[in-house]
Amino acid sequence: MRIYLIGFMGCGKSTLGRKLAAFSGMQFIDMDKFIEERYRKTVPQIFAEEGELEFRKKERKVIEELSVFQDIIIATGGGAPCFFDNMELMNKTGLTVYLNIHPEILSARLLKSKTERPLIKGKTYDELVKYIEDTLDKRDKYYKKARLCISKPDADIESVMEMIRKNAD
């Protein structure tokens, strides 16, 4: 089984991924961390020194690499499904699970988060809500291609795993 968790920054992909991995015994991989190790640079460094397009190309290469790993739960970067035919590749090679969270909740979480995210750096709460709503407008059509949509990723882990198992066959 191969599971791709997708969704906006701050939707809880890594937190859910880690819990699902602990529960199921599968391996967990955070795609941004994988990119940082592979290229020996942080995500903000790649954005600043090489630009977003280069980051997206690296992201694509890493999806290709991970798409042959076995028994793995992958937390993808928030923009990953929205570039090239990444969503098609992920749908072909695993179960895509979209974590659908309200912009105001995302905004509050992102303000508290310690992870540096180049696309939202320095934004206030209101600016963030606006950015998230505008970006979600553009990203929705990609996220909606996910095989499974979960709007309560913090529900008990057993029921989330059950939903995933049912949709994995």
Q: Which residues are CB-contacts of 141 (< 8 A; sequence separation ≥ 6)?
A: none
Q: CA 109, 95, 149: angle at the middle one, nearest 5?
A: 45
Q: Which stretch binds ligand S3P (CB under 6 A): 16-24, 73-81, 97-105, 154-162?
A: 73-81
How many residues are listed for the chain in this entry?
Answer: 169
DSSP H/E element including 28:
strand 27-30
| Binding test (CB under 6 A) with ligand S3P, winner from 21, 29, 43, 66 | 43
| Binding test (CB under 6 A) with ligand S3P, winner from 119, 148, 157, 161 | 119
Please work out the total of residues on this chain that contact ligand S3P, with binding judged by CB under 6 A. Answer: 9
Q: Which stretch binds ligand S3P (CB under 6 A): 17-25, 75-83, 95-103, 153-161?
A: 75-83
For 124-159, give the DSSP string: -HHHHHHHHHHHHHHHHHHHTT-SEEES-TTS-HHH
| Binding test (CB under 6 A) with ligand S3P, winner from 9, 26, 95, 132 | 9
| Binding test (CB under 6 A) with ligand S3P, winner from 18, 117, 123, 147 | 117
Whether the CA torsion 117, 87, 7, 93 is positive or negative: it is negative
Residue 78 makes contact with ligand S3P by CB under 6 A: yes
Establish how many alpha carbons lie within 13 A of residue 76's alpha carbon, considering only the half-sphere containing its beta carbon. Answer: 36
Instruction: Specify the residue, 9 or 74, whose C-beta has the smaller distance to ligand S3P.
Output: 9
Residue 62 makes contact with ligand S3P by CB under 6 A: no
Residues found near ligand S3P in the complex (CB under 6 A): 9, 32, 43, 77-79, 117-119
